[in-house]
Structure formats: structure tokens, C-alpha cells
Amino acid sequence: MAIDAPHPSPPARVTKRRGETRARLIASAATIFAEHGFGRATVEDVCEHAGYTRGAFYSNFVSLDELFFALYVERAEQLVQAAGSAVSNAVAELGTDPPISTVVDRVLSTLTVSRQSHLLNLEFFAHALRNPPVALALAAHRRDLRSALAPILRVGLGVRRVSAPQLEALGRAIVAVQDGMYFQELLEPADQRLPRARTTLITRILADAAEQLRA
């Protein structure tokens, strides 16, 4: 299946009905991409699952690639919002310098990741690795994700003097651990040690960073 590089749809007035249509198409794409793989998915598959025509699809997206990135951005925004709320709640409850282990536990407990989400992460990477233009776009989106995580990390660390490059490096490390452990959990769902290992790794990364920054 030939894949074009993603191109944004032309600006259009977003009505309530249009927004609902777009949301249903994105939700259907999540199911179709996870069940069949992005490479085997078609516009018709997504439309049939959502209960819409091809016309409804193309009035919202110019290609499956654009839908692919809309789904990725939606998932990333949900993750950042959940993480930010968890950190803010921990600080409000425990003070401005809560134990990092407690903050990590709070954040990860809010980030419930389903099997579908695991599969979608794999699809995002597999599709990007096979298509260089898509890889460039996905890398840009992941930079945006790390930038969005930076202020959350600053609050969670409880350290005032921390530079943007330091937060970028921390964000990269944490996202890498998350990705790697998610894949392990998908392969070994019965291994109950993996979620705790993920928490331990992220806690250690943040605790070591906070200690170095305070030195």
C-alpha cells in the first residue's frame, strides 16, 4: 500500500456536528489500526466502522496519514493532560516538594494503557520506520510531546533551576522507558513485575536528576 506524506486538510469551519464526525472517525481509526494494522487499513474500513461515507471522511481528512497523525496527537494530548493533572494534584495534596516516588506512582496510576494503546504505539513506529517523510513528521510530534512534558517535569522535580535542555533530556529518557516497558508488557502481559519495574526505572531517573540539580 503506497503511503503519501501527510498533508493537512484546508482550514474549515468546525461545527458541533463536524467535530462529532471527526471524533468518531478518529475513534474508529484507533480500532481499525490496532486490529488490522495501519498498512492493511483502508478509508472504507474506517468509514464502515464509524458509519460514515467516504465523503464524510474526505471532508475531514485528506488521507489516512492525516488521520494517523490526528489520532497520535489526540493520544499524546490525553497523556500530557493526565500527567499534568496527577502532578498538580500531588503537589496540592503533599506540598511543593512531594516525594518523587509518590508523584511517579500517582502519574502512572492515571495513565491506564490498554492493549489497543500498546498496539497503536507499535503501529505508529512501524509505519514511520517504513516511510521516511512520516518518520520526520512523527519525530516532530514527539519533540512537541517532550516540550509539553517539560513544565510538568519541572513541577514534579521540585527544582527551580533546571534548563530547557535538561528537561528535554529527561523527557526523552522517560518517554523511552515508557515505550520500551509498554512493549514488554504487551509481549508478557502475565508478568506482574513489569509495571513495578517501569515505576522503579522512572523514579530512579527523576530522583538522580533532582539530586544532581540540587547539588
Domain count, the chain: 2
Q: Quote helix, strand, coil % in the chain, to nearest 5.
A: 80, 0, 20
For 41, the domain range is 16-58
Domain membership of residue 5 (yes or no) is no
Domain membership of residue 92 (yes or no) is yes
Q: How far apart are CA 209 and CA 202, in angstroms?
A: 11
Domain membership of residue 31 (yes or no) is yes
Domain membership of residue 6 (yes or no) is no
50 and 140 co-located in one domain: no
47 and 122 co-located in one domain: no
30 and 70 co-located in one domain: no
Q: What is the CATH number of the domain that holds 54?
A: 1.10.10.60
Domain membership of residue 167 (yes or no) is yes
Task: Using alpha carbons, list the distances in angstroms from residue 87 to 118, 176, 199, 202.
Answer: 23, 20, 15, 14
53 and 72 co-located in one domain: no
Q: What is the DSSP string of the chain?
A: ---PPP-PPPP----HHHHHHHHHHHHHHHHHHHHH-GGG--HHHHHHHHT--HHHHHTT-SSHHHHHHHHHHHHHHHHHHHHHHHHHHHHHHH-SS--HHHHHHHHHHH----HHHHHHHHHHHHHHHH-HHHHHHHHHHHHHHHHHHHHHHHHHHT-S---HHHHHHHHHHHHHHHHHHHHHHHH-TT-THHHHHHHHHHHHHHHHHHHHHH-
Q: In a 10 Å sphere around its CB, with 0-12 CB exposed, 13-18 middle and 19+ buried, how is residue 25 labelled? A: buried
52 and 137 co-located in one domain: no
- How large is the C-alpha radius of gyration of the chain? 19
Q: In a 10 Å sphere around its CB, with 0-12 CB exposed, 13-18 middle and 19+ buried, how is residue 20 labelled? A: exposed
Higher pLDDT residue, 41 or 3?
A: 41
28 and 99 co-located in one domain: no
Higher pLDDT residue, 95 or 46?
A: 46
Domain membership of residue 1 (yes or no) is no
In the block, which residue shows the cell 490526528?
70
Domain membership of residue 34 (yes or no) is yes
Q: Check whether 12 has a pLDDT greater than 80.
A: no
Q: What is the CATH number of the domain that holds 102?
A: 1.10.357
pTM: 0.80
131 and 49 co-located in one domain: no
- The pLDDT tens digits of the residues spanning 121-168 come to 889 999 999 999 999 999 998 999 899 999 989 888 877 788 889 999
54 and 85 co-located in one domain: no
Domain membership of residue 9 (yes or no) is no
- The pLDDT tens digits of the residues spanning 158-203 come to 777 888 899 999 999 998 998 898 888 888 989 999 989 999 999 9
| Final residue of a structural domain among 58, 73, 91 | 58
97 and 163 co-located in one domain: yes
| Final residue of a structural domain among 5, 35, 58 | 58
52 and 78 co-located in one domain: no
201 and 180 co-located in one domain: yes
140 and 204 co-located in one domain: yes
